[in-house]
């Protein structure tokens, strides 16, 4: 034989993928391993170089390749992005075995091993050498990816404090659109209160005049019907729920709210009909409020009762600002003086801001994604089909969350300097939020049914989320069927069981009351959980992240902090007093400058179920991807048609606006 013809291909992209270094390569076969051979050519971007390896002994079937990058004396030590390595047994052999890489390799990595491109479960491996390779790969990852603790009582996180520690394959540079915050930053040093409503309106004209949703918010924020709309379709649609009985600590009587209900009905009857809803921010009760600009801010823990009217509107009908009933905790009603009622609604919106940022957004999408990503890297080898399906949706969470912990959530970050839930409250709130998590609330069909939103005509979040969930669920089910023939295959996949077990232990802290699975007995259970992870890190994140600036840039609609304590009596505030509760100018602008960054999709964003990874373009997977894309395209059209009929559209779950993964 004339020797193995081995072609090493360097990626054409990402940019700067070439290196001055040299590569050592050896073949690992079923019989033996060939001695390393040094590739003398320079590894230019987009290049392909072929070397001939002539082992002295018969290596058998080549099942692994071993690569090592070596720095060249006198040249910079640059990383190399290897596309793949292709092997033929001779120059005449038409059969080519492909060993994909598609990652950065560094000289510090030492030897790395590549295997063939076929995803498979561990039980399908027929060679001990490949079983051992899977186990060595996971052992290496587990030494590198360790669990850490951000807050006691919250989901565990990756034990890294620097993005640099992630290495080049788990970090990235996103191409951000340029968002002009010139008019926000120009006020960021002003440590005074807003002097008047007119000053707020001037600020809004400079910063929100081109945002059609924000303009609608600014025009309608005082209206009860728009308040209810935001509970269903704003940036935090996860809090509202239908009730059939009043909470015992809500001091509302039927007589109090009778004027706001149909003349021929009562509160009890309306609850029986499913027309009464509740916002309950009990999770904020007694949390320590932050000090901003050396001044105390304040938190409330409101209960807000809402009614869905025969006119098709959801309106608040009673608001109690604290959890414990009593004479100093009155129930505010729409019939109260206008300043009292408006201020009560502002307190609810302030509480919603805290819960949205730290629980709906950070806990439910970012931290969940990080837990699943860390467990995937530790327990599922790259050749595992679930690793390949999940990673495009969760890979970005590690970098984003590390950055958030060392900036936004750290000393002198935006929460420390500008938001009512500061550094003292954050760990308490995240721990409480974790205790209150329920697996059913993470799964859209269960969630919208339990909260009574599935049949509510004006809840566009529920309508769109259900359709996106269903499309993803069918896609995931199809993927699973390619690799798991029956439930026994699921039960006997030890890597899969270790994965879900680690998520249960490290993410859900072993709390059985959450209802999350700690093992999979059926493919149906597995499909539901995987769909939940992908939905949470793509569609849910889009809904609660990209809408933030729209609903927050008119500051009175969602104040990040309140400068005065909640009212304990009615009639104690005037119309002018209401705006004195707002956060000061510099802290308001600090929050908006951060939200301006968070709310902008990247220029290079990847839409839902569009994939750049090589393994999505082969075999039966291509058909699955094409099917789900067609379904999502039809859904996007339906949403666009519906939105064209709405005064204020709900665009955030349109599939062409949903990014594949959590982003910043």
- Reference 537, options 368, 408, 382; nearest CA is 368
pLDDT at site 178: 67
What pLDDT sits at residue 618?
80
- Helix crossing, 385-394 with 523-535: angle to 10°? 20
pLDDT score of 162: 94
Q: Can you read off the two tokens belonging to residue 64?
A: 């692994």
**Which residue from 72, 63, 71, 70 is spatially nearest to 34, judged by alpha carbons?**
63
Report whether 18 belongs to an annotated binding site: yes
Confidence band, pLDDT 50/70/90 cuts, at residue 13 = confident
Calculated CA dihedral for residues 113, 114, 120, 122, nearest 10 degrees? -10
Q: Please say if the pLDDT value at position 176 is more than 90.
A: no
Q: In what order do the strands lie in the sheet with 112-115?
A: 37-39, 22-29, 62-70, 112-115
Measured between alpha carbons, how far is 84 from 43 in angstroms, rounded to an integer?
Answer: 13
Total residue length of the chain: 664
Per-residue pLDDT band at 664 (split at 50, 70, 90): low
Q: What are the tens digits of pLDDT across the range 285-299?
A: 999 999 999 999 999
Evaluate whether residue 351 is within a structural domain. Answer: no
Report CA-CA distances (Å) from 105 to 22, 71, 76.
12, 12, 15
Q: Is 610 annotated as a binding residue?
A: no
Q: Does residue 368 form part of some domain?
A: no
Residue 11 inside a domain? The answer is yes
pLDDT tier, 619 (very low <50, low <70, confident <90, very high otherwise): confident
Strand duo 291-292 + 303-308: pairing: unpaired
Per-residue pLDDT at 500:
98
pLDDT reading at 1 higher than 60? no
419 membership: H or E segment, kind and range: none
Range of the domain at 44: 4-116
* Element of type H or E holding 577: helix 575-578
73-110 pLDDT, tens digit each: 999 999 999 999 999 998 888 899 999 999 999 999 99
**Could you tell me if residue 441 is left (phi over 0), alpha (psi between -120 and 50 degrees) or otherwise beta?**
alpha
Name residue 113's beta-bridge partners: 66
pLDDT of 175 reads 74
For the stretch 426-467, pLDDT in tens is 999 999 999 999 999 999 999 999 999 999 999 999 999 999
Q: What CATH number did the domain enclosing 29 receive?
A: 2.60.60.20
Q: What is the pLDDT of residue 93?
A: 86
Q: Which two structure tokens, joined as six digits, stand for 165?
A: 């520690």
Helix (H) or strand (E) holding 639: helix 620-643
From 23-32, 353-362, 596-605, the region with the lowest mean pLDDT: 596-605
Query: Is residue 378 very low, low, confident or very high in pLDDT (cuts 50, 70, 90)?
Result: very high
Position 385 confidence tier, pLDDT thresholds 50, 70, 90: very high
Asked if the structure places residue 42 within a domain, the reply is yes
Mean pLDDT of 415-421: 98
The confidence score (pLDDT) of residue 459 equals: 97
Tens of pLDDT along 50-64?
A: 999 999 999 999 999
- Mention every residue, 6+ apart, whose C-beta is less than 8 A from residue 567: 321, 330, 340, 343, 344, 573
Cβ–Cβ contacts within 10 Å for residue 468, how many?
Answer: 27
Domain contains 103: yes
pLDDT class for 116, splitting at 50, 70, 90? Answer: confident
Q: Would the annotation count 366 as a binding residue?
A: yes
Q: What is the reported pLDDT for 298?
A: 98
The whole-number average pLDDT for the span 354-377 is 98
Mean pLDDT for all residues in the chain: 95
664 has binding-site annotation: yes
Q: Are 51 and 6 in contact (CB under 8 A)?
A: yes
Could you give the CA distance from residue 561 to residue 350 in angstroms, rounded to a whole number? Answer: 7
Let me know if residue 30 belongs to a domain: yes
In this predicted model, which residue has the larger pLDDT, 90 or 47? 47
The reply to whether 79 falls in a domain is: yes
Average pLDDT over residues 509-517: 98
Mean local confidence (pLDDT), 615-640: 94
End-to-end CA distance of the chain: 54
Domain count of the fold of the chain: 1
* Cβ-Cβ contacts under 8 Å for 402 (sequence gap 6 or more): 158, 160, 161, 162, 163, 166
CA dist., res. 374 & res. 376, Å (int): 5
HSE-up (13 A, CA, CB side) for residue 477:
12
Listed in sequence order, the DSSP H helices in 509-574 are 523-535, 541-545, 548-552
Residue with token string 């599935």:
454
pLDDT in tens, 460-497: 999 999 999 999 999 999 999 999 999 999 999 999 99
The H-or-E segment that residue 158 falls in is: strand 157-158
Q: Which residues of 390-418 are buried (b: 16+ CB within 10 A; e: fewer)?
A: bbbbbbbbbbbbbebbeebbeeebbbbbb
pLDDT above 90: residue 336: yes
**Residue 445 exposure: Cα atoms within 13 Å on the Cβ side:** 9
* 541 annotated as belonging to a binding site for a ligand: yes
On whether residue 579 sits in a domain, the answer given is: no
């Amino acid at each position: 034989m004339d020797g193995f013809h081995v072609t090493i291909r360097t990626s054409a992209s990402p940019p700067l993928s070439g290196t001055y270094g040299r590569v050592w390569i050896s073949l690992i076969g079923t019989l033996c391993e060939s001695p390393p051979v040094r590739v003398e050519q320079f590894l230019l971007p987009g290049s392909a170089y072929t070397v001939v390896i002539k082992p002295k002994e018969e290596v058998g079937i080549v099942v692994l390749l071993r690569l090592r990058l070596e720095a060249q004396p006198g040249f910079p030590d640059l990383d190399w992005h290897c596309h793949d390595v292709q092997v033929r047994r001779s120059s005449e052999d038409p059969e080519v075995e492909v060993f994909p890489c598609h990652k950065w390799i560094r000289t510090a990595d030492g030897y790395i091993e590549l295997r063939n491109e076929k995803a498979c479960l561990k039980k399908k491996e027929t060679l001990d050498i490949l079983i051992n390779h899977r186990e060595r790969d996971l052992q290496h990852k587990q030494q590198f990816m360790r669990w850490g603790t951000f807050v006691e009582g919250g989901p565990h996180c990756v034990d890294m404090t620097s993005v640099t520690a992630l290495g080049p394959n788990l970090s990235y540079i996103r191409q951000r659109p340029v968002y002009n915050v010139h008019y926000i930053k120009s006020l960021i040093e002003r440590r005074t209160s807003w002097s008047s409503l007119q000053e707020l309106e001037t600020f809004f004209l400079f910063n929100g005049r081109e945002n059609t949703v924000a303009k609608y918010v600014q025009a309608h924020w005082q209206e009860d019907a728009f308040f209810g709309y935001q509970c269903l379709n704003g940036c935090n649609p996860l809090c509202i729920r239908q009730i059939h009985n009043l909470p015992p600590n809500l001091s509302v009587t039927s007589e109090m709210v009778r004027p706001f209900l149909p003349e021929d009905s009562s509160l009890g009857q309306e609850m029986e009909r499913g027309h009464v809803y509740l916002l309950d921010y009990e999770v904020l009760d007694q949390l320590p409020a932050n000090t901003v600009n050396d001044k105390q801010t304040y938190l409330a823990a409101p209960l807000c009762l809402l009614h869905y009217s025969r006119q098709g509107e959801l309106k608040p009908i009673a608001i109690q600002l604290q959890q414990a009933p009593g004479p100093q905790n009155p129930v505010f009603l729409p019939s109260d003086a206008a300043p009292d009622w408006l201020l009560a609604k502002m307190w609810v919106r302030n509480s919603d801001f805290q819960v949205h940022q730290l629980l709906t957004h950070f806990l439910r999408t970012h931290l969940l994604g990080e837990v699943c990503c860390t467990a995937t890297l530790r327990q599922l080898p790259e050749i595992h089909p679930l690793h390949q399906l999940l990673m495009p949706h969760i890979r970005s969470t590690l970098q984003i969350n590390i950055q958030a912990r060392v900036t936004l959530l750290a000393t002198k970050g935006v929460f420390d300097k500008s938001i009512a839930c500061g550094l003292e409250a954050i760990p308490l709130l995240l721990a409480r939020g974790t205790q209150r998590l329920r697996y059913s609330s993470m799964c859209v069909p269960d969630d919208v049914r339990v909260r009574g939103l599935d049949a509510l005509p004006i809840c566009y979040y529920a309508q769109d989320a259900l359709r996106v969930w269903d499309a993803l669920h069918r896609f995931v089910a199809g993927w699973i069927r390619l690799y798991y023939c029956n439930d026994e295959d699921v039960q006997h996949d030890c890597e899969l069981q270790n994965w879900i077990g680690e998520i249960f232990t490290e993410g859900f802290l072993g709390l059985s009351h959450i209802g999350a699975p700690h093992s999979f007995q059926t493919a149906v259970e597995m499909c539901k959980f995987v769909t939940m992870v992908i939905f949470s890190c793509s569609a849910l994140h889009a809904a609660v992240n990209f809408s933030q600036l729209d609903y927050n840039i008119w500051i009175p609609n969602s104040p990040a902090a309140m400068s005065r304590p909640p009212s304990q009596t009615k009639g104690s505030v005037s119309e002018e007093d209401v705006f004195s509760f707002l956060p000061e100018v510099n802290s308001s602008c600090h929050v908006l400058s951060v939200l301006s960054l968070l709310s902008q999709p990247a220029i290079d964003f990847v839409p839902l179920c569009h994939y750049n990874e090589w393994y999505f373009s082969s075999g039966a997977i291509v058909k699955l991807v094409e099917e789900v894309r067609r379904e999502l395209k039809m859904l996007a059209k339906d949403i666009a048609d519906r939105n064209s009929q709405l005064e204020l559209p709900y665009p955030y779950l349109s599939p062409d606006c949903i990014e594949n993964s959590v982003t910043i």
